Amino acid sequence: MKRTTPLRAAIAALLLTVGLGAAQAGAAGAAPLPGPAAAPPASAGLLDAMSRDLGLTAAEAEERLGAEKTAVEVEKAARRSAGAAYGGSWFDAATGRLVVAVTDRTEEAEVRALGADTRLVRHSAAALDRAKARLDTLGAPAGVAGWHVDPRTNSIVVDVVRSERQAPAVRSFVDRARAGGPVTVVETAQAPRTYAAGTVGGDPYYTGNVRCSIGFSVYGGFVTAGHCGKAGAAVRGWDGSAMGTFQGSSFPGDDYAYVSIHSGWWTVPVVLGWGTIPDQLVRGSAEAPVGSSICRSGSTTHWRCGTVLAKNETVNYSQGAVYQMTKTSVCAEGGDSGGSFLSGDQAQGVTSGGWGNCSSGGETWFQPINEILGRYGLRLHTA
């Protein structure tokens, strides 16, 4: 972006120190420069946020990030090894290890040899995914907040709003869901909503009278939430000047968008930490397992952390269902929509919506980044 403040000066200084070179207007199509040989340790801002939101010391936070990075690679290998017997996986924070569910006991030894713990289950991940896909075709009432495959219970978890649990329409939906596969019903305090906000002071971008947050820089612009603007809508930057245009947007069904930027603005592989310097460089988009720590940056509530609760969840907003979302325990508020979700230095997705706030707590969903990149043929700007 083009701000000329101490914060932006700090961004430029940080980029220079890690060998990225000075950001230049109009350089969106340039090839990425190579990053350093080894990634630096987690920044102080990220560790502080994890300490505040997850109750960890700085040393514990660094140790967990290292274990989660290992779990990402173990999960890929375990999925290949287990094959049709793969029942899903999740990161166990208590042990610092990945747990892999398998439907065939003969696969356990090979999976354990990869460095994972195992759990024998009845249903494969493929079977649960098929059951969820059938559930996605049902019309859900407002009292149903969403549903997802949960490897830990080896079932489809249906979230219902506590006050609507006994409503006839909700009970009918749950009955139909159970007819299609194993279902676990859990209660949530509130229905999910998107996190766009009216125009108020703050950083980063505006469309119409809505403020949202930038997700991640891609070559040519940035990605964000689809409910923040429709294709063709003009985007204004933090200072009110013309910034770019929504080139693609999808909501509901999906909740993602791509904004191209004008001359005078540029992209950087940085997620703001809302201190005197940017908090975190983005080095890739490797997907973190369920149970991993995850942090979010947004223009209203800044840095907030939690854990990944579920993947491939269907979220039932009042505007319509959104599919393939990731559920987290991170809080958010109006104006945080579109903002960045990170696990360590790996981009995870853009903030969509949730329930609650950062005073009393809540849950937030994001649209996974790799799906967005693939949909629009974009390349993530990485360090």
Residue numbers annotated as active site: 227, 255, 337
Structure tokens at 90: 């999740």
Q: What's the sign of the alpha-carbon dihedral 184, 185, 190, 194?
A: positive
* Residue 51 burial (10 A CB sphere; 0-12, 13-18, 19+): middle
Cβ count near 1 (within 10 Å): 21
The Cα–Cα gap between 179 and 56 comes to 42
Gap between the terminal Cα atoms of the chain: 17
* Residue 134 burial (10 A CB sphere; 0-12, 13-18, 19+): middle
